[in-house]
Structure formats: C-alpha cells, structure tokens
Amino acid sequence: MRHRQLNYAIQTLAVLFAVVMRVSQADSQTGDAEHDKVNTACQEAAAAAGLSERYNQLAKATADNARTLMITSAMWRQKAAETSDPAKASTLTAISEVASSLALQALAKHSERAAKMSAASKRLAERAAFLDGVHYVIKPTFAKQTNPFKVNSAKLEIRSAGAKSLANTCDKAARQASGKNIQPSAAGAATWKKLKYSTDRELVKLVPTQKVTLTFGSSDCSTSGDDTNGYGTTVASCDDGISSTSEPTLDTIGTATPRLESIYEDDTPTKGCTHKEIDDDNSDAEMKRLLKSICEAQQAAAITVPSVADLTLENLASNSAVILTVRNGAPQFHKLHDSSETAATDKIKNYIKETLGTTPEKFTELFVEKIKDEDVSYRGPKETTKVKRQALAEQQEAGAAIAYFQDKRAVKPQAKKRRQAAQLTNARQIQMKLNAQKTKIAHTKMENANSKRE
C-alpha cells in the first residue's frame, strides 16, 4: 500500500511540474526563461556569446556518430569472417551492413545539422563581438590639446586632442542578470521563439553626451533659455578672451533596450522562418540574417542523427534486410518460401535474437562493449599479428585479417581432392563388402540346394 502511495505521489509531482513548465513558457516573452533576462545591449552581447558557444557544442555533439557506427560495422564484419557457422556468419554480416548503412545516414545528417548550427554560431559570435566593440569605444578619455582654437571671423572652432584610453562599459557585472550569468539554454530548445535584439536605432542611445569647459578672462558670462540642468541656448557678456579649454568629458552612457524579434513566422515553428528572403539593401538586413540563421539552427537541432544506440537487439532482429540475409545464408531457413510471412519471420527473428545474446543487455555486453577488447590474431607481414578488435577495425589491415579468416574457412583444392579420393575409396570398400556378402549368400544357397538333391 505504501509503495502504491509513493508511486501516486511521484506521478502527482510529475504532473504538477509539467503544468508549472507550461505556465512558465506561456508567461515567457521569448519562450526561454534565461533569454527573457536580456534587458540591455550589454546583456545581449553576453547572451549572443553564450548562444554562439552552445550552438558550436551542439554542432559537435553528433560528430562521432558515423565513426562509431563504422567501427561497430567493421568489428561485426570481422567476427562474421571468423565464424565457420554459416547461419551465424550471415547474421553478423547482416547487422554489419545495417550499421554501415546507418553510418552513411549519420554522416549526411550530421553534416546538415552541423552546417546550420555552425552558421548560427558564427553570426552570433560576430554579433557579440560587435556589441562588445560598441561598449568598449563609446566612452574614451582624451589627452590635453595645446592648440584647441581656430577662429574664422565670427566663428570659433574648438578641437580636442586624440583619445588616450578606452573603458569597457560592459563589464562582468553588467553582463549578468541579478548577479548570475545568463545561460544559453535557448539554443536548441523547441520553446524558444523570439530573439531579443538591439537595433541601430536603439544602440545609438548608448552614445553619451560630451562636455568641454571654456574659461574666459571675465566672469560676466551668462546664458539665456536655460533648461532644468542650467544649459542655455545662447551665451552673452563674455567680452574678454578665452584663456583655456578642458579635455572633452563624456557623461554616463545611455540605455539601449533590446526588442523582441520573431524567429518563426507568426511565432509558429511549423510555418518556417520569419525571414526567408532578405534584401541586402534593407536597413535591418543584418538582423534578419541573424534571425534566419538562428531559425535554421533551431530546425537543425530537431534532426535525429543515427547512432550506436539505434542498434538495439529488437531493431536488428526486426529489420527486414537482416531477416532476408539470414534466410539466404542460414541452411535451416533455405526452404522457407516467403521470409516476409509472419510465421517464417518469427522463426528467423527468434534465431537472430538467440545468436546475438537473447536479451538486450547481453547483446550490448557481448556485441557492443566487450567485442572492442577481444583479441584477434591473423597472419601479418612476417608473423602472426595480435591486436584488439576495435583497434583492428580502425586500420586498413583489417582487410588482411578478414581475408585470412575467409581463407581458413575455404575448402582448399588439394584438401578437396583428398576428401573426394577418400570418399571414393570408402565407396569402393563398401561396394566390395557388399559384393562379398552377395557372393557368400549365393554360395551358401547353392550348397544347400546340392545337399537336398543328394
């Protein structure tokens, strides 16, 4: 009873968690709780860098699938060549071909997936670098200008010296949200539908105002039309000359607010990307290209790349190509007229499972894990070579090993002649014995007949 109550409690918690997650996603601005935290251009820079790295990781995640499948296929092919049992050999050959086929699929799927994700990673890295650059150069400090003035009649030109230092206005604290790094969980998440993006019209708000102080000989200067901060529209009563000017100083940078930009048309993934065709002359072309690449990367994240995990006992035993191969190679199934018939299929499936370990756990243990470390010996260039099976599967010399195994199994011409001669001798001896027995029986009958006449 307590066990049943515990299961019920776990199920209830699972349902509640699912409900909370759905509510959370519904309340989200972007479809991802972490991306919702992006509220400044500086945080956008941090988020773009994180998403770039995450897409790069996702692109590499399936890079080894095809290689592992090919190695597995090669190991099974070796084992098929070693065995003298034609039924078992056909089974191993069949599953080797399945693994090889999946490897080719994995290579194609991975290439497609990785290309889209790498493209998005590159664009996001460029976006992060651009925003970081903007934050780094918008508030420089200036050196002292020794000759700042230039007069042309009633016009006065004032120049600054060159900038002497830059300050990073997007430091670690500014990149965080509530003191914590913004996580790139949106990358690859099916729920993410909107990107937070600061347009140029927003970014220009970051540029701070500049101040230069002029010092006059008299103290009678006054302004008119002053605003609330004491800045006027005109200056009057400054009759004496200007004695000096200060270096330009910049106020606090402004605030750029990222806007919500839809990744998908109508925020619906099944409708495809919001931006399918992009005009290079469009003022928002860069933003649209970024959104398009993210959309394609998200679509690529849904691509399933075959792996060794797909080579389960049930999948292999149920594979029609494996069943047909075993029917053709196993002597006990040669008389089956239709291998697709249910009864015939079941017989072959049961045999395949028995050959490959009977249970999923045993199959994985024997034909996926332990097989890697099996010792394989074959005729090398000068002497017998001994190597681990997986290591051999990765070498070109694997072909030499397979040829060696096949040669051992093949019936040699001389051996065949000797066997045929022995069979012929045996047949002659048997025939001679039969003839002798017949002669003896005939002789006995003749003697019996003569005895009766006498």
Per-residue pLDDT of the chain (454 residues; tens, 9 = 90+): 444 454 555 555 555 554 444 544 457 899 999 999 999 999 999 999 999 999 999 999 999 999 999 999 999 999 999 998 999 999 999 999 999 999 999 999 999 999 999 999 999 999 999 999 999 999 999 998 888 889 888 888 888 889 899 989 999 999 999 999 999 999 999 999 999 999 999 999 999 988 888 888 877 888 888 888 888 888 888 877 888 888 888 888 899 999 999 999 999 999 999 999 888 888 899 999 999 999 999 999 999 999 999 999 999 999 999 999 999 999 988 888 776 778 888 999 999 999 999 999 999 999 999 999 999 988 888 888 899 999 989 988 888 888 888 888 765 556 556 666 666 667 667 777 777 777 777 677 676 666 666 5
pTM of the model: 0.78
Smallest Cα–Cα separation from 95: which of 313, 402, 306, 305? 313
Q: Across the chain, which distance is largest between two alpha carbons, in Å?
A: 179
How many whole angstroms separate alpha carbon 454 and alpha carbon 449?
A: 9
How many whole angstroms separate alpha carbon 394 and alpha carbon 375?
A: 14
How many whole angstroms separate alpha carbon 405 and alpha carbon 425?
A: 31
DSSP 373-433: G-EEEEE-SSSEEEEEHHHHHTSTTHHHHHHHHHHHHSPPHHHHHHHHHHHHHHHHHHHHH
- Are 325 and 230 a contacting pair, CB within 8 Å? no
Structure tokens at 117: 């994700």
> How many CA atoms are closer than 13 Å to the CA of 248, on its beta-carbon side?
17
Report how far apart, in Å, the C-alpha atoms of 35 and of each of 50, 119, 162 are.
11, 20, 39
- Are 47 and 182 a contacting pair, CB within 8 Å? yes
